[in-house]
Structure 1
């Protein structure tokens, strides 16, 4: 198997430190990382890839071939992916449900700002009996969609698409439980922010924990952006750009999955979420061109062709977005 060099000719210390830190982890959730790669790099190029190509892409992060194969097989079993045979090889292709889940997540990940709040709360009520194991599966599945919990039987979100939320539960293997769930919209008829809204937020979400996670993200990636800003002649190698872009989006995606994206009026002062969003936007744009060159060389299909990115790809974190000029 081809072994890619871990570092480009020009070594950028902050990038090397981040990549080395990832490589030194004792345990890597390879399936989750592969999901991030599919959503960020493979979906815009048709949503399919030859397994050997995926192994080549992830090898420099020290994910070995066996781990990648095992993780991909598991994603296929969970109906994120399916196989299409091409001669003696096969492509792994996003299923329709997998594609819908990625596209929904992309609308949040690559947006310039959080959704506007219409002052209506989205509720999912558990109105039937659940055994403890299934209730915990439901709680975790909705937690990773940003839902907060009120008591044992009520899940709440300020802006979620309830149809998409139920589709995601089906994808998580909870289809048999949907008849015991009731989706509702609730609104406070009083003008302005009510005490009830603020109290609901305090009870439903642990914002302190989420704020710490956002602060850690900023502390990890801001030094890299500062180094790139300090020297306009500094160029990131194509492979390192792809690897860092992958970790950046992976880490940011994991944060957004937990984040209900509350409106500013419901957030604490100096909330770090917007700073993290701006940081991710600017760093992603700086890595994009070089990382795409790497994908042009390495991302291949079973027939040996290299799929080009879709034109809609340019809509992600657009370069002319005024928010990119905001100082971090």
Structure 2
């Protein structure tokens, strides 16, 4: 445990999950901290790093085995040591989510929409297509019609093609609108994207992490181990929220949208602690060549700039 009460609360909260979501946390760790350093680490050093989260060695090894079996990670043996990296497929799976996390803001919207009709698909394939498109930010405006502002047709086409659903789906794109969000459209957005439930989840995130922000700001000297724990829990919880967030344009969201405050809070904490957390990572994780490689320039562009 640490001397920071809000951080202890967050660690305890994570440990009390039933079951502990160790695999999900490991994916967060790879995306946030390991990929920028080359993407490969020795399993022993990964175990040492995560033990401070209260995750025992057996659970870590079991989680790594499952992630490898499911195609997220790949292993390479060097002598008696095993080194794990994200697979190409694993990297592609989380790339978009992590790009969302560290973006400086939501892009401007010109009022265009992408509509996808799934009427002609068999029921099971329609369900799969709907789940995949909803993950990309689409919402159901009718039982078999999904819509997304700013939807990228190329991404939609690739998703449907991969599912074998493209030939029996219909894709429309609307023209830019002068009036971006009428009262009726705001009401439809609330229904189709379950905005109220998402707002409540963002509010909970703020209530969890605002005390941590206040505690960290009040420290004369930040401890590297505390900063690592704070950073991994911060990004882990924020990532889970963004996976549920369709990233709708501001014009379609309520004026008091909690997602804006949550992003600001996440950015502020990350900027405060990332450097000390890097010290802890560099001193704990190992590659086959020894210390971690330096992070690339793109790392410092997170949240609109870390320096």
Q: TM-score of the superposition, structure 1-length normalised?
A: 0.83
2:293 corresponds to which of 307, 310, 316: 307
- 1:254–1:178 distance in 2 versus 1, CA, 3 Å: farther
Residue aligning to 1:99: 91
- Specify the SS of the correspondent of 1:49: strand
Residues 175-201 of structure 1, C-alpha deviations (whole Å, 9 max, x = no match): 344544444423354544345533431
Residues 197-236 of structure 1: matches in 2 within 5 Å? 197-229=185-217, 231=218, 233=220, 235-236=221-222
Q: Deviation of residue 127 (structure 1)?
A: 4.5
Residue aligning to 1:324: none
Residues 84-108 of structure 1, C-alpha deviations (whole Å, 9 max, x = no match): 3333333222222322333322321
Q: Distance in 1 between matches of 2:63 and 2:160?
A: 21
Q: Distance in 2 between matches of 1:35 and 1:98?
A: 9
Residue aligning to 1:109: 101
Q: Deviation of residue 113 (structure 1)?
A: 1.6
1:18 corresponds to which of 10, 35, 39: 10
1:28 corresponds to which of 20, 37, 56: 20
Q: In the alignment, is residue 157 of structure 1 matched against residue 143 of structure 2?
A: no
Residue aligning to 1:297: 283
Residue aligning to 2:57: 65
- 1:191–1:319 distance in 2 versus 1, CA, 3 Å: same
Residues 289-322 of structure 1, C-alpha deviations (whole Å, 9 max, x = no match): 11101100112124444222222211112246xx
- 1:130–1:52 distance in 2 versus 1, CA, 3 Å: farther
Quick check: 1:50–1:92 contact (8 Å CA) kept in 2?
yes
Residue aligning to 1:279: 265
- 1:125–1:80 distance in 2 versus 1, CA, 3 Å: farther
- 1:90–1:177 distance in 2 versus 1, CA, 3 Å: farther
Quick check: 2:43–2:84 contact (8 Å CA) kept in 1?
yes
Quick check: 2:112–2:177 contact (8 Å CA) kept in 1?
no
- 1:169–1:277 distance in 2 versus 1, CA, 3 Å: farther
Quick check: 2:135–2:246 contact (8 Å CA) kept in 1?
no
Q: Distance in 2 between matches of 1:82 and 1:167?
A: 25
- Unpaired segments ≥5 residues, structure 2: none
Q: Deviation of residue 20 (structure 1)?
A: 2.2
Residue aligning to 1:326: none
Q: Distance in 2 between matches of 1:190 and 1:298?
A: 54
Q: Distance in 2 between matches of 1:111 and 1:186?
A: 26
Q: Distance in 2 between matches of 1:42 and 1:263?
A: 31
More displaced 10-residue stretch of structure 1: 38-47 or 274-283: 38-47
Q: Distance in 1 between matches of 2:204 and 2:137?
A: 19
Q: TM-score of the superposition, structure 2-length normalised?
A: 0.88
Q: Distance in 1 between matches of 2:22 and 2:154?
A: 29
The alignment covers a number of residue pairs equal to 306
- Unpaired segments ≥5 residues, structure 1: 1-5, 321-328
Quick check: 1:83–1:92 contact (8 Å CA) kept in 2?
yes
- Please report the RMSD computed on the Cα atoms of aligned residues, expressed in angstroms: 2.6
